[in-house]
Amino acid sequence: MLRRFYRALGWSELAGATDQLCRYQLGPVVLALYPGEHHLDDQESDATSHTTLVVRLPSRQLLDEAHRTALNAGAEPVSPPTDQPWGGRASVVADPDGHRWELLWVPTHQSET
């Protein structure tokens, strides 16, 4: 399910991807995703960790488009695209394994206002 979701977003997997580990080249960074039950140190613990990954987009229109694309690919909406009080725009979606992705547009003097 996870691999199908990211392929639907148009991401290309790196060689050797499996249903237990999928990897994507994102500029100079390799993003590796795996199901939550496969943590390296899964000893008994009350600790929990929640991480939101952020994708910064160059315009508010591209943010809205990316949000629709993610939903069409199977993401669950967490928060819709919303103008922020500080002047930017953001939304949050969750992929099929529950990884949260914030889609973010931050206005600058060089980008759309």
Q: Are 89 and 82 contacting, i.e. CB atoms less than 8 angstroms apart?
A: yes
Do the beta carbons of residue 3 and residue 96 sit within 8 Å?
no
Band the pLDDT of 37: cuts 50, 70, 90.
Answer: low
The model's pTM: 0.68
- CATH H-level, domain 2-36+51-105: superfamily: 2,3-Dihydroxybiphenyl 1,2-Dioxygenase, domain 1 (3.10.180.10)
pLDDT band per the 50, 70, 90 thresholds, residue 112? very low
What is the pLDDT at residue 75? 95
Residues 50 and 102: their CA atoms lie apart, in Å, by: 13
Q: Give all strands (DSSP E) within the chain, no chain letters.
A: 22-26, 29-33, 52-57, 76-83, 89-94, 100-105
Q: What is the pLDDT of residue 76?
A: 95
According to the model, what pLDDT value does residue 50 have?
64
pLDDT at 110: 47
What's the pLDDT at 43?
Answer: 47
